[in-house]
Amino acid sequence: MFYIYICLLPIMFVMIVKGLVWTKLLPSKVKIMAFFILTAMMFRYICILILFLDNNIKYLYMLKMPFFLNLIAVPMIALTLIYIFMRRDNIKFHYIFILSALLCVLYGFTVYNCGAVVKNVQQYPFVWGYTMNFPKDSYIYWSYVLFNTLVLFFSLGFMGKNNPNRFGIYMMVFAAAVTSAELIAWFLNVNILVQPILGDMSWIAVFIYVLNKIKKRVASG
């Protein structure tokens, strides 16, 4: 699994960079949201790379704030995709901005006040480096699992409807299911990879897919 992990990290960076390049071709409101989300995920994966390569624990705790940025980036992806897939004219995109701003405030307050632990990755014999988690604040992860579960069932409700974005909705269901299953496995000490990144990758993949569709629609329109 270690070799799978070191192969997945470059793929994640490529997807994020590709999405950032595409943002300049998107409508202004989606562009702002996409740029923030992808930048947040880029900071997270730079932190993961530093933790993976570093063998000195001295300053790693300073990475706490950006390391957990997936906890807001993924909900922001989900909210943006739900808005795009619903296609409701009476729902304005600025509501997504408001919800995202509230998520950022909540994230900053929670991460600042919760104690994270930096620990050596010992369960993989050929891996050096560290990881970080909230051992005494598991409610953070359970809230994240709950959010993805709600998104899963909400997305399932759109499957039976005549929606031209059905494949994207299938991808959302898959991403939410993978994220929830991966975190629950971590709670049960079933650590498939060095870091739980499969959920992140699934969400970024569906986000890139949708951004590409929007980019093509703008180019042809």
92-125 residue pLDDT tens: 778 889 999 999 999 999 999 998 888 877 655 5
Give me the helix-helix angle, 94-113 and 70-86, nearest 10°. 160
Phi, psi of 128 (to 5 degrees): -110, 175
Q: Where are the domains of the chain?
A: 2-220
Paired residues of 120 in beta bridges? 130
Burial of 219 per CB tally in 10 Å (0-12, 13-18, 19+): exposed
CATH of 2-220, one of 1.20.272, 1.10.1760, 1.20.1070, 1.10.10: 1.20.1070
Both structure tokens of 46: 């730079």
Rg (CA), the chain: 18
Q: What is the pTM of this model?
A: 0.91
Q: What's the pLDDT at 78?
A: 95
Pairing between β-strand 130-133 and β-strand 117-120 as defined by DSSP bridges: antiparallel
Helix (H, G, I), strand (E, B) or coil at 123: coil
- pLDDT tens digits, one per residue of 136-191: 888 999 999 999 999 999 888 877 666 667 888 899 999 999 999 999 988 887 77
